[in-house]
Structure formats: structure tokens, C-alpha cells
Structure 1
Amino acid sequence: MTRRIKLRTLLIGGLTTLFFVVLITRIFWIQIVSADFWQDHAKTQWSKELDLPASRGTITDRNGDVLAEDIPAYTVAINPRIITKYGIQQEVVEGLHKLLGKPEGELLKLINAKTKDGKLYGQREVRNEGWKIDLDLKDKVEAFAEQLRKEKKIPDSGIILIQEEKRYYPKESLAAHILGYTDRGGNAVTGLEKEYDEDLKGHDGILQYEADPKGVHVPKASEVYQPAKDGKNIQLTIDDTIQQYIENAMKEAYAKLNPISMTVIAADPNTMEILGLANMPTFNPNTYYDNVKQENFFNHAVRSQYEPGSTFKIVTLAGAVQEGVFNPDENYMSGSIHVPGGTLHDINRYGWGPISFLEGVKRSSNVAFVQLGYKKLGEEKFEHYVKDFGFGQKTGIELPGELPGQVSMHYPIEYATATYGHGQLLVTPIQQVAAVAAVANGGKLMVPHIIKSITDPTTGKTESTEPKVVRQVISPDKAREVGSYLEQVVADQKIGTGRHAYIEGYRVAGKTGTAVKPINGKYDYTKQVVSFIGYAPVDDPKILVLVVIDQPQNSKLGGGTAAAPIFKQIVSQVLPYMGVAKETTDADSKKDKKSQTLIKTPPMTGLSLKEASSRLRNQGLAYETLGKGDKVVSQYPKEGSDMTVGQQIYLLTEEGKKMQVPDLTGQSLRDAVEILNLMQVKVTASGEGYVISQKATQNKDGTRTVALTLEPPKTEAELKAEAEQAKAEADKAKENTEQKSEDSKNDSQGVDSKESSETSTPAG
């Protein structure tokens, strides 16, 4: 018995010892050998991490008008478990199909799909139709979910709305090829969005914190907080009003001419800031996925290479003038010229007989430019000027995908044809703009740029783009001389090929271009690239515009008849908008305008209407309130702008599209356009000067358009004459009133008017 007890005791003791040995070994293994693994595993249980997304930077025009921004968006999701629990599958499917357009079969699959363990999902997004929808559609989905909940008397409809952000382009297709777009996932695809993606997207932040088993945040526990760094804001050099003028003119011409494509670039030749750039066909960055052809996304301004035709003659002319070999009065025989390798002809193969070189420039004679570039300058000097003007190399503009063009002359015939823009010479539109700007600005080849500044919202630091001169190509006096000849190309209404670009009251310099397209190695005279490039005013250029039309349907149209009128339409609107007066404007009124005292516009945005009104009254500033709100949401002129004493400030108190259009009579075109742009109203204008009348119309798409009629300000002489006429009319009216009063008095005394008139003494 004693022996059994001892054996049992030993067995129990041994097992207990073994248990503790195993336990200690296991503890050692967990705490020492596998400590890192279990530490990490524990963290996953009580440590949570929350992503803090950064906002993408805003893109604006030169005046601060928003062209691209992030706005709230909403993704529709469903909870299949709840939908199935309350038996509302059919109602949800029909309702979301009607609102989102997603096929009913696909919605039903989303609801009935199960996980690997055979359970219904707790949440599924309705892609792509319900992904990042706008506020209007979100409100409709929300209303449907609420209606379903009430009708079925259930606590939850199973329809979820997840708040997110999406990229939005408020001007729609305006400047689309400059901006590019981001896809629905927020990934940059083309344009400046892609080129400056690193600057725009910013950096997401994180919040790491500890939570209990139920996921509740544990207070006073250690936290790691790294704030999101929002993307940088980019201000462009373009003016959205000028851009609108350009695109409106292009749409009209595109519908009329039916070409393969069109490109227009507008620039300030003195700084090479791009004021506007557009291509047709185009696209809407908000709906880039809606049956848009791939060619609509192509930015011809920097990515198309073509033989320029006669617009390139400006380079040949500039070189000849700089070298002193151009004599405008010297005669040559037009029609044809022989060079090694072949005979070259004018567009009029028989020519115009012996004519002066200046007439040859006006008529765009090929023979004249072969004489100037090939014979007088010579191959080496001609090629030097071609490359000095920037051809065969990228300009350096910030837009992605720029091509360098091609300069590849080896034989005499190739040099000769290049003098008038054909043969082994390919250019891009932006190269031509930079080259001709060098003539307009006094001979300086400059780098074109479309980024005005980049601002970091976190630090407030702004990096501005300064004008950059590449080289002095020709001297300032020779540049002015070239400009005087190009002015005659436009001003001569009889033989000037650019006469259709003439704008009354403004001095315009320019050159037409008509280049036959090579098809399979041979020139096809039914297919042409036609263009016009010019600048104004000649003596003080404010704007330079290039118009390129690829293969208009009517092959008989040239640069003078197809492209020059588009240039005229754009520039005749832009110059008054920029405040450039016609040369016929009275000199005294100019002087008076300059002598007016300038003050800075005070900041009003964000103030209550009462406070803003009080401040403006105290400062003696005139103002007008637009809208029915009680808080200033925007103003014009903007804060810090120069304004003259007596100029009126407009205070907008609600969203512009909801407000009534104010009376703009007496406003300049620029001020009227700015006010209407704030109100999201489209503008058309006729005439120049100041608004004398306006007409508002409602468009089918819900937008409004205001047609403005303008007249130039009256001269002092005209105002004096009107005042004298008004005084004379007032005096005459006074005499008539006095006479009627006297007649009435006589009648009351019983005097016969006929007898009175016969016995009275005639005056004078």
C-alpha cells in the first residue's frame, strides 16, 4: 500500500514537474524567442491607424478664377445583409437603376454575392455608376433611401453614401488641353495635372492610436499624428476671358470649315506668358470617359509637327533685314526661279512680272524669299537664323510632350524651299509663336511659359516664373523694321495677303501661311495646313496670336481667307478687353484717364453685408450689392486691385448663377466681363468702349448668356456739342411753356387770341 502511494506521488510529482517545465519553456519561447512576432500581433489588436488624405492643389487663371479644384463627392454603397433581412431587394434594384443607370442584373449580383464562408457582404460599392457622384445626384439617392425606409417602416434601407473628394473643372472644356485631367481614382493622366502631379497631389497624413477590443479610442494612450500636407496651388498665365474668346471663335470656324484639327495660341510677346491656348476637337475633363475619341486629347500646340508654309517667311525676312540685304524698293522677276535641283514657282506660276521686294512680301512671293534667303543670305547664314530663332529645339514650355521639330537641310533645293517654309523643315505651333514674338518684342527669343506661380499652402511660400531671354536674335531697330513690313501685309487692302486680319483703329502686323501636305512622299494640293500669325499694336505689342487649321474641307481656302478672319475676331475682342484704345481715341481723354488717382480695393469678402456697407461708406467708396444674402461671398474688383476714385465696387452675397443680372450700362468691357464671370454668366460683345445696352437670354443647358453692346467714349467736342444741343432744347421748351402760360392767362381774361395776335407788335 505504501509502495503504491509512493509510486502515485512520484507520478503526480513528475507530471507536475513536466507541466511546469513545458510551461516555462513555452513562456520562454513566447517572451524571448518569438517576442517580436507576438508584439507585432498584439499591436494589430489594439493599435489603429487612420489615413488623413491630402487635398489636391487648385489651378487658377492669372486673375485667380478657378479652373481645377477638389470638391466633395459621394460614393453609393449597399449593405446586402440589411437589404436581404428586410426583403427589399427589388425596390433597391429598381430605385438605384433609375437614379444611377446601373443595369438591374448587376445590382442584383452585388446584393446576392457571398463571401468565401457563404455569408452576405456587409458593404459593397456600386461601381462605376455610383462612384464619386455629385451633390445633386447624392441628394436624390439620399431622398430615395429615406422614402424607402418610411414606406417599408424599417430602421435602415441598406443604402450607404460615403463622402470622398473628386477633381472638378468648373469651366468644363475651357483650357482642357492645358489642364489635362485626373481619372476617377484621382490619378493624373494628361496636361499640367500630369506634369505637376508631384506638386499638386501633396502628401497624405496618418493618425495612429490605441483602442480597446471594441475599437473605442483609449484616452491618454500614446498617439502618432502626422498631418496631411495639401498639394500646392498653381496659378497660370492664361486669362480665362481671353481663353473664352479664343474657344468661341474656334467653335464657329470649326463647324464652318470642318478641318481635321485647329490650334490657336495667344501670348504676350514681351514676357512670353501664354494668355490662351486651345485645340479643336476638344473634351470635357469632367466627363473624359463619355465616348470621346482619342484624338480629342491630343495637344497639337506642342505635339504636332508640320511644314509651316509662308508664315515661316518672317524668319527669312528678319535675317535678310538684319544682314542688310533686304531693299524694299529693289526689283526682281517674279514667277519662277531656278536653283540646283529644280525650278521653284510662286503660287501664281507666271508671277506678276518685275516687282519690288516689298510687293513680293505683301503678295507672299516664294521667289522673293528664295532670292532673299538662299541667294542673298546664303545657306550657312540662313540656317544660322533658322536655328537662332529656336527651330529644331524645344522651347521649354511647361506643357508635357513637346516635340523639337526638325531642321534638316542638306542640298541646295532643300535650303531654297525652306526659305518659304517647305521641305526638310518641320515646326510646332509653340515654336512659331516664340520665333515671331522675337520680332514683336525687339529681337529677343524668350522661353514661353504657362505657369505664373506655384504656392505652398502650408508654408505660404510662392515661386513665381520670371520672363527668360534665351538670346538676342536681331537688333531692336531691325525688329521694328521687319514689323513695319509685316504691317503692310495686313494694311494693304489690295494686294496684302493678310488684309482679312485688318482691324480698324489698330495697327496689326502679320503673315499668312498655306502649306501643301505631303501624302506618301508627294505633295497633295487638295490637302493643306493653313495659318496666320500676327501681333498688335505694331508699335507696342500687347498680344500675339497664331491660328493653325489642318486641312479645311474646302482646299481652295488659304491662310488669308480661312485663318486671318479668326485672328481678327479674337484680337478685335481682346484688345478692348485689355484696355488698349484705338488710335482714333481722343488724346485728352487718354491723358485724363492716366491722371486719375488710383486706390487699392479694400477686402470685403467674408464680411457681413452690414459691416461691408459701413466700411465702404466710411471710406467714401461707391458700391452695389448683388444678391439677397447677408454676407459677402465675393467682390469685384478683387482685394488689392487698383481702382479709380468714383469706381463702383460690386458685392456678391450669394451664388452668382442664382442672381439677377445687374445693369452694366457705363461699365468697360473688362469690368462687365469680370462681374458676369463671377455670376457664372456667359458673355458676348459687339462694338468696343463702354456698355450702352445689354440683353440676357436663358440657354437650354440652364446657363445664361448676356449680349453686351458697346460704344467708345465720346470726345470733349462731342460732349460739348451734346450739352449745347440739350441747352438749346431746354431753352426752347422753356419758351413754349411761357407762351402757353401767357395764352392761358389771356383766355381767362376773355381776350380773343386771333385779335391779340393781329394787334401785337412783331418781335425784332
Structure 2
Amino acid sequence: MTRKVKLRSLIIGGAFTLLFVVLVTRLYWVQVVQGAELLSDAKMMWATDKELRPVRGTILDRNDKVLAEDSPAYTLALNPKIIHDKGIENEIVQGLSEILGNSNDSGALAALADKIRTRINQKRDDGSYYTQVEIRNEGWKIDAEIADKIKALEKELQQKLNTKKSLGILLLPESKRFYPSGGLAAHLLGYMDKDGKPIMGLESQLDEYLKGESGWLSYEKDRYGVELPHSQRKYQPAVNGDNVRLTLDKNIQFYMESAIQKVYEKWRPKSVTAIAVDPHTMEILGLANMPSFNPNKYWEAKRQSDFVNHAVASQYEPGSTFKLVTLAAAVEEGIFNPNETYQSGSIAVPGRRLHDHNVSGWGQISYLEGLKRSSNVAFVKLGYEKLGQDKLRAYIEKFGFGAKTGVDIAGEVAGIVNMRYPAEFATATYGQGLTATAIQQTAAYAAIANGGKLMWPHLIKEIYNPETGEIIKKFEPKEIRRVVSENTAKQVGEYLEQVVADQSIGTGRKAYIDGYRIAGKTGTANKVIPGQKGYAEGKWVISFAGYAPLENPQILVTIIVDEPDLGGNYHLGGDVAAPAFKEIVSQTLRYMGIAPNTADQQHAQAAEQKMLAAVPDLTSLSLDQARKTMDKFGISVAAIGQGAGVIAQYPAPGTEIGGLQRMYVMMQETKDVPVPDMTGKSLRDAIGLCSFLKLRCQSEGEGYVTSQTLEGAGEDRVLHLRLHPYGETEENAESEKPQTNPNHDGAENGAENKENKEESAPSAPHGN
């Protein structure tokens, strides 16, 4: 018995001894052999690294109005297990689909409800519900307004279930890119997708400056994620992105988008593009395209083409707006005589016969009239016959066509200038057979507006640190080269003014703005059939480019309308782009504080409210008959020259004319007829009368005519007009007006002076 006890004790003691040895050995192995490795693994389990995301830089307009910024956002996540445990899946599905659905389409709402229900019912392989699922894209990075509605839904369900516990609705805080003005300037800004990746526009182009640098935070935590006392904490702060200030003006951008939206809806074109710049610096004040998109909801765009920035990425045959280059070259080379005449209608060049848009032409007319009527023949004679192929090509290249402008907007194309044959040079004089972009045409017109300098177009003004204000990068205006002399630019601007101011034949008359001197040119170009040499029937590109005020241009606008629905009538081209130009520029000039330089506006409005009448056709009537006919309208008739019957009249038959206005009738051929006294007339009316007399007109000052001087003889006559604002008109007229009018003689002079005395105040300009 004693022996058995001893043996048992020995076995138990040995077992304990062996166990102790094993434990000691294990402890030694863990503490000594694997100690360093296990400690390292433990620290990795305790430690947590948290990424600190930087705030992306803000994009602002020239007046620091925000165009793009980071804003708080939330991602909706659901806990299917809790939702099913509470038995509220139907309430969750219905409530969330109504909140997240952004359409009144019942089918779309039903599809969203099915999507949410499918996500809630998803299970793991073992048959258990997931503890967290996200609702994308509808619940991804939603704004605070939608998040508040979801919180209200959860609170309502909690009250219904009489609980304060979570119902499985989670709102995970995030940030997203927000564009406060919606689609404003979308093609310039681009957008950030929901993964935070910059897509197109400035967001992509300037990503290196905007994105900043991520930071991180490292500390030790327990199993519940709570930071341990005395833990080792490491911190690297995030560096926020730089801000970008643009040359863009948010208000002008709004004017532009509103105007071209109307064009898009009325004429149903493929696209509309508008660019506004300061012509002195070529800073882009606005740039818009239709159709467009909302960068906050970029996924709703209907077509991929909605994302194309046609201002730089599309090229067109410019048509008559390109005549600016030929005109400027002819004036610079001294070969443009506005009073010289030519036969309009058609002209033969090697291999082709080219025509005016009015195929039969207008007979023998002056080059100035040819400009106003946008005669192709006039420009073929000027650019092809007089200037020559080599000089024409040189001026085209000097104005920047055929090469990229270098504008700081991605996606620019160079256009095509590749004339080889005589006919190609001839058609290039009026903008066919070559291609150009909207930004190229804008830069070319700005070169005339600013006195002859081709400037670098740019959108980015500066990049700066938002915390310190330090300028990281600044972009100053840059002259590329001089294209024509300052005097040439001034003359060309005055010629272009008559295209707008001449309300009888000026193709740009729909762009006229009362009280401002506008220079501009229309364009109507046939569209080439893709892959072929010919032009498409009934497909046009309509354009207008112009600037104001002429004496010191502050705004230049180019508008291009691709394939408007003209119903086959290209003569409607003047009604497409020019009115949009008028709307944009008139609003912008008022916004800039540039007041009209003509009469007191109350005076003008009162005059415009006078009776309007359609002027009858007085042709072939005697002077007495013409005066009797117009007496019933309260309109005086002044005769120019002597003859048995009226051979022409101004304003033309059918024109609406105010009761205080005088009209003129031509009694003999216009050559060397006496020039009537234009004192008291607006510049527009004076230019119209000069056009009626086939007389070249030059003006100085603003407002109404106070004096006039005639120089030259025959076809070389030039009438110089001096103008003053309405309040100064009568006073200046008395002090500056010659005692005798050298342009009148005999009875006609007496009659004119008598009728002028009857007009005690200048008449207001009549409308379009």
C-alpha cells in the first residue's frame, strides 16, 4: 500500500515537473526567442493609421465668387440584419426610394425601390444577412439636405416602434466636390466623379495644384478602437490644395448662358458656342456651350457630346466673319478704297466662278457697300486680285489661323489653313475652304479692337495658397505680335461699325444697341459634307463677332451656332446670332457701369413711344405728292437734288418710323448731290443717310451730330461728323456749326435750313 502511494506520488510529481519544464521552455521561447517578433506584431494590432484627407482647392471667378469647392457629404449605408430583425424592410424601401428618387417617373421610382430591396435582402454564403451595404449611386455622397430627410425618416420610424436604438440606417460622413451654380461654366470647370477622380476641365488640368497632400494620424488602441493611455502618437498634417482664381466673371457667364439657351431652344442647332473677352488683355470673361451638363449630376447628361467644349475643340469654316482678315490686310496695304466701285454678283477665278449670296448681286456698288452687304465678290477682288496669294496667306497666318492660340484650356485644335490652288485662295478671302476655332476668331477680332495686337487668350488669372495668400503662379496678359498698325485697326473698326449701324443694308443691324457704338460682322458658312468635297444642302454655321464700345472696347463677344434650323432660308442667319450678341453685350455694358453715350434715356424712350408708321413707297411720285402722302403721318419730307419724281427714299418702304423723324427722297442720281444738314441726328441715322447717299462717313465723339464737314469730290467724298451728348447738342451746335452750309446751294439749302429750324430737338434713334 505504501509502495503504491509512493509510486503514485512519483508519477504525479514527475508530471508536474515535466509540465513546469514545458511551461518554462515555452515562456523562454515566447519571451526570448520570439519576443521581439511578437511584440512587433502586437504593436501592429494595437496601432491604427488614419488618413487625413486634404481640402481640395476652391475655384473662384475674378471677383472671388465660388465656382467649385469641397462640401460635406454623406454616404448612405444600411444594416440588413437590424432591418429584418425589426421587420421594417417595407417602410425603409418606400421611404428611401421617395427621398433618393430625383424623378417624377413612377417607373424610375419603382426601379429604385427594387434596387434598395435587393440590397437589403442580400445574404452571405452562410445564409446570414450582411451587417452593412451601401446604396450606390443614389445614396453615394449625398448632400446635407437629403441626409436630413433620411434622419427624419429614421426618427419617424423610431417613434412608431417606440425605441431609440438604431434602425440600421447609417450616414457615413464624407466630402464631395460641389458646384454652387450648377451647370454654370461646366465646360470650363469639368467635374470630379464620385470616386474623387478629376474628369476634364480645370479640375483635371490643375489637379496637381488643387488636390493638396494627404496627412496621417497613428496611435495605439484597444480592441474597441479606443486610444490607449500613454500610447505613442504620430501625426502628419494634411496640406490643403491651392485655390485658383480665374479671369471669368460669373455675372457675364450667366448673361451668356441665358442668351445662348434661348438661341438653342428657338433654332434647335447641334450646338451653340459663345466667348466673351476683354480685347485689350484677351482675358476670358465668359465661355459657354449648349448643350451643357450639370457637374453636380454629370451622370444625367444625355449624350457624350454634351461634354465637348466647342470653343476650342471644334473647328468650322468661319464664313464672312473671316472677312475681317482680308479687310484689315487691304487697309494695312493701302488698297482699300471704300468709295471705289466694282460689279457685284459673281467673279471668275481659275477653275471656278464664285458668287455673292445674292447670286444676281446688287449691280455696280462701292466696296464699303459690299462690306455692309457681306459681298463675297468684293473680298475676292480685294484679297485675291489686289492683295495677292502670298500676302493673303501671310496675313492669315499673322492673325493666328492655322495654329493653336495656346489658350490655357485643354483640348484645343489648330484648324486647317492649306490653300494650294487659286480658287482656294479666292474662297479663303471670305472664310470658306479653311477652318478655324471660336477662340481663334475671338483673338483675331480682339487684335483689331485693341489697336492691332494679337494677344494670348487665357482663363487662369492666378493660383494661390488659401491660408497664406501667397501667389504660387500668376498669368499676365501677353502680346504675341502686332498684326496691323493702330491706325489700320481704328479704320477697320469704323468700317465694321457701319455693318451694324446701317439699318438699311447692314448685315449686322440686328446687333445694334441704342446708345453704344458697336463694331461687328456676321457670318453664314455652308457646311462641308463629312468625307466629301461638296457642301451640304441647307446646313449652315451662323456666327457673329463684335465688340463695344468702339471708342474704347471693353467687351468682345463671338457666337457660333452650328446647324440651326433655318427652314432652308439662309437669309434668316442674321436673326440667329446677332440678337444674342446684343443681349449679352447690352447687359454686360450696364453691369460694367458703361452708360449709353447718346441722349438722355427718358428722351429716347419718349420718342420711341411716338406713333410708328410703315413708310409707304414714294418712288415715282412728285415731291408735292410725296409730301402730301407723308403729311398724314406727321413726317416731313426733305428733297435731295432736283428732278421730276422720286427715284429713291430713306428710310426704305416698309420701315417703321417715328412721327418726329424726317425722311429724305432722292430726286436725281446720287453723284454729287448736295448733302443735307445732319445736325441733331443720331450716329445710326446719320450713317444710314450716308449709306443712302453712297457717301463715306467718319465720326468723332458720341451722341448726336452737332457739325459736319465734307471733303473731296465725286466718289471720293468723305463726310466728317462731330457728335456730342444730348445735353450739349444745341449749345455746341450753335458754337461749332458753320454760318453757311457749304454742302447746300440755292433753294434746296434754304428748304433744308427751314426744316432744320422746325426740329428743336434731335430725334431718338428708331428701333430695329
TM-score, normalization by structure 1: 0.72
Contact 2:256 2:274 survives alignment (8 Å): yes
Relative distance call for 1:66 and 1:21 in structure 2 (3 A) is closer
- Deviations 1:538-558 (Å, cap 9, x if unpaired)? 111011111111111113245
Cα RMSD between the aligned structures? 2.9
Note the 1:704-719 alignment, pairs <5 A: none
Relative distance call for 1:12 and 1:84 in structure 2 (3 A) is closer
- Deviations 1:329-375 (Å, cap 9, x if unpaired)? 22333222222222222222232233222222222111221122222
Relative distance call for 1:14 and 1:284 in structure 2 (3 A) is closer
Relative distance call for 1:41 and 1:415 in structure 2 (3 A) is farther
SS state of the match for residue 406, structure 1? coil
SS state of the match for residue 324, structure 1? coil
SS state of the match for residue 229, structure 1? coil
Note the 1:151-230 alignment, pairs <5 A: 151-154=160-163, 155-230=165-240
Identity of aligned residues (%): 54
Of the three residues 556, 561, 569, the one matched with 1:556 is 569
Q: Does 1:264 align with 2:278?
A: no
Q: Does 1:110 align with 2:124?
A: no
Q: Does 1:573 align with 2:587?
A: yes
Contact 2:330 2:336 survives alignment (8 Å): yes
Deviation of the 1:272 alpha carbon: 0.7
1:524 is matched with 536
Q: Does 1:65 align with 2:65?
A: yes
SS state of the match for residue 511, structure 1? strand
Contact 1:509 1:536 survives alignment (8 Å): yes
2:18 and 2:252 map into 1 onto residues whose CA distance is 96
1:224 and 1:116 map into 2 onto residues whose CA distance is 40
1:283 is matched with 293
1:310 and 1:716 map into 2 onto residues whose CA distance is 39
Greater shift, 286-295 or 395-404, is seen at 286-295
Deviation of the 1:112 alpha carbon: 3.5
Contact 1:146 1:157 survives alignment (8 Å): no
How many residues are aligned here? 585
Contact 2:598 2:726 survives alignment (8 Å): no
AA of the residue aligned to 1:301: A
2:474 is matched with 464
Q: Does 1:415 align with 2:429?
A: no
Of the three residues 230, 244, 268, the one matched with 1:234 is 244
Contact 1:229 1:458 survives alignment (8 Å): no
AA of the residue aligned to 1:553: D
SS state of the match for residue 289, structure 1? helix
Contact 2:293 2:301 survives alignment (8 Å): no
Contact 1:47 1:208 survives alignment (8 Å): yes
Relative distance call for 1:289 and 1:416 in structure 2 (3 A) is same
1:255 is matched with 265
Relative distance call for 1:225 and 1:384 in structure 2 (3 A) is same
2:316 is matched with 306
1:542 is matched with 554
AA of the residue aligned to 1:390: G
1:461 and 1:346 map into 2 onto residues whose CA distance is 58
2:384 is matched with 374
Give structure 2 stretches of 5+ with no counterpart: 102-110, 602-724, 731-768
2:426 and 2:16 map into 1 onto residues whose CA distance is 112
Greater shift, 355-364 or 500-509, is seen at 355-364
2:355 and 2:318 map into 1 onto residues whose CA distance is 17
AA of the residue aligned to 1:543: I
Relative distance call for 1:372 and 1:40 in structure 2 (3 A) is farther
Deviation of the 1:46 alpha carbon: 1.0
2:540 and 2:112 map into 1 onto residues whose CA distance is 47
1:21 and 1:570 map into 2 onto residues whose CA distance is 89
AA of the residue aligned to 2:509: R
1:94 is matched with 94
2:322 and 2:234 map into 1 onto residues whose CA distance is 63
Deviation of the 1:409 alpha carbon: 1.3
Deviation of the 1:290 alpha carbon: 2.2
1:77 is matched with 77
Deviation of the 1:429 alpha carbon: 0.3
1:445 is matched with 454
Deviation of the 1:202 alpha carbon: 1.9
1:322 and 1:117 map into 2 onto residues whose CA distance is 86
Relative distance call for 1:365 and 1:48 in structure 2 (3 A) is same
Deviation of the 1:441 alpha carbon: 0.4
Contact 1:54 1:202 survives alignment (8 Å): yes
1:12 and 1:43 map into 2 onto residues whose CA distance is 34
1:263 and 1:287 map into 2 onto residues whose CA distance is 22
AA of the residue aligned to 2:591: Y
AA of the residue aligned to 2:553: P
Relative distance call for 1:200 and 1:541 in structure 2 (3 A) is same
Of the three residues 341, 351, 357, the one matched with 1:341 is 351
Q: Does 1:141 align with 2:150?
A: yes
TM-score, normalization by structure 2: 0.71
Deviation of the 1:469 alpha carbon: 0.8
SS state of the match for residue 141, structure 1? helix
Note the 1:375-524 alignment, pairs <5 A: 375-423=385-433, 425-462=434-471, 463-519=473-529, 520-524=532-536
Relative distance call for 1:585 and 1:229 in structure 2 (3 A) is farther
SS state of the match for residue 114, structure 1? coil
SS state of the match for residue 572, structure 1? helix
Deviation of the 1:185 alpha carbon: 2.5
Contact 1:176 1:285 survives alignment (8 Å): yes
- Deviations 1:686-744 (Å, cap 9, x if unpaired)? xxxxxxxxxxxxxxxxxxxxxxxxxxx996999xxxxxxxxxxxxxxxxxxxxxxxxxx
Relative distance call for 1:217 and 1:436 in structure 2 (3 A) is same
Q: Does 1:330 align with 2:340?
A: yes
AA of the residue aligned to 2:589: L
AA of the residue aligned to 1:486: L
Relative distance call for 1:351 and 1:74 in structure 2 (3 A) is same
1:12 and 1:186 map into 2 onto residues whose CA distance is 64
Give structure 1 stretches of 5+ with no counterpart: 588-712, 719-764
